[in-house]
Amino acid sequence: MRRFSAFAIAREALRHHKGWEKQWVSPEPKASYDVIIVGAGGHGLATAYYLAKEHGITNVAVLEKGWLGGGNTGRNTTIIRSNYLYDESAGIYNHAVKLWEGLSQDLNYNVMFSQRGVMMLAHNVHDVQVFKRHIHANRLNGVDNSWLTPEEAKEFCPPLNISKSARYPVMGAALQRKGGTARHDAVAWGYARKAHAMGVHIIQNCEVIGINRGADGAVTGVETTRGTIGAKKVGVVAAGHTSVLMQMAGIRMPLESFPLQALVSEPVKPCFPCVVMSNTVHAYISQSDKGELVIGAGTDQYTSYSQTGGLHIINHTLDAICEMFPMFTRMKMLRSWGGIVDVTPDRSPILAKTPVRGLYVNCGWGTGGFKATPGSGHVFAHTIANDAPHRINEGFTLERFRTGRLIDEAAAAAVAH
């Protein structure tokens, strides 16, 4: 009897949730909008939300070829931090951390932001030097980051093996206490619900297959699998598929797309208190609120649109995890998946106007864009509304790949990319 009523409660909750979802996803597109956003991932939905909230632009549609949050937003391992090296990066990722801190209240939706600390392990002298350089640079930029000895690292994360005879001995760690995780799909749903409440249309199963331009070259709208839709401005926020979309407007992008994988274990009681990342062994781990260990691997070494990556990559990751955290050796893995990330030559994003009037692009977040979601949406909305960048995204131009003024954050995501 008890089991049945628990089931009935869950079924009612689901029914309520489904009906409620239908209220904020608009089924039919209008003939035209002021702004069209292509891609209903976290960044696209956040852009639409801030266009409405900060700039009063509500005649907006977000077009999504699949379902909202079904791209990298719903596939990522949710690590949030801002311990990047360069000023431009510290600026945008720390802007995002500040917005994360108030996001659940802002959206009136619990995105489960949890500042449990992100610890990056150093396994050799090079790691030690690089992380210490990051710590100094971060502090100058007002980003919290501190150095831990192996013993202090173990105290912060008791399951960590700091034996000197380990295959990847721990020589210390950089800890950002304000880093942590959030619930990825809640972020997409929270932005979608609030944007919809302000008048934004969110149209799923609507793939953009062409970008239309007038005689003067400016954008006039898009061709979609549901017909032509007019727009004064179009923002492309399509992660791994940006090159394909921008090609429709005749723009060649400095991007390559790679599969990136993650996996989760069976759920267990709370046993892992923080996030641990290891650049050298391409493995990172945290525990979700459901109890699963969330484990991420490096990217494949070849470009591809396959949404599964090479099995040898996750096997290598699991070897490393078991060596660093021997208590997980007998854990069962539940499922693995991949997403397509788009990577720029300097591993920093592009958030900018394009040479086509009325066309804007937000891409190149590679393996690390989830953490930026609120900051990215906020400054991209500013860029579209004002036809000029916000001071925070001024450096993230397309032109930098011609002028050479790069923001070289290679290895910043602490995974292979």
∠ CA 305-310-314, rounded to 5°? 125
Shortest distance in whole angstroms from residue 11 CB to ligand PYC: 35
231 binds ligand FAD (CB under 6 A): no
395 binds, among ligand FAD, ligand PYC, none (CB under 5 to 8 A by kind): none
**Would you say 79 or 137 has its CB closer to ligand PYC?**
79
With CB under 6 A as the contact rule, the residue among 75, 134, 193, 400 that binds ligand FAD is 75
For ligand FAD, the binding residue among 32, 70, 220, 254 (CB under 6 A) is 70
Q: Computed from CA positions of residues 10, 16, 21, 22, in that sequence, does the dihedral angle turn out positive or negative?
A: positive
Span 290-329, contacts to ligand PYC by CB under 6 A: 296
Residues 39-98 that bind ligand PYC (CB under 6 A): 77, 79, 81
> Coil, strand or helix: which one is 12?
helix
Contact status: 361 vs ligand FAD (CB under 6 A): no
Q: Rounded to 5, what percent of the chain is helix, strand, coil?
A: 35, 25, 40
> Of these, 51, 60, 61, 64, which contacts ligand FAD (CB under 6 A)?
64
Q: Which of 371, 390, 400, 417 binds ligand FAD (CB under 6 A)?
A: 371
| Collapsed DSSP state (helix, strand, coil) of residue 283 | strand
| Stated length of the chain | 417
φ, ψ dihedrals at 246, nearest 5°: -70, -30
Q: Which residues are CB-contacts of 84 (< 8 A; sequence separation ≥ 6)?
A: 90, 93, 134, 138, 143, 409, 412
Please pick, from the candidates 172, 235, 364, 368, the single residue that binds ligand PYC as defined by CB under 6 A. 368
341 binds, among ligand FAD, ligand PYC, none (CB under 5 to 8 A by kind): ligand FAD
DSSP notation for 36-50: EEE--SHHHHHHHHH
Residue 251 binding ligand PYC, by CB under 6 A: no
Contact residues for 292 (Cβ-Cβ < 8 A; gap 6+): 264, 265, 266, 267, 268, 334
Which one of ligand FAD, ligand PYC, none interacts with residue 235, CB within 5 to 8 A by kind? none
Residue 251 is a binding residue for ligand FAD (CB under 6 A): no
Distance of CA 333 to the CA centre of its chain: 23
Report the interface residues with ligand PYC, using CB under 6 A. 77, 79, 81, 284, 296, 367-368, 413-415
Report the interface residues with ligand FAD, using CB under 6 A. 38-44, 63-66, 70-73, 75-79, 207-208, 237-239, 241, 245, 260-262, 296, 339, 341, 365, 367-371
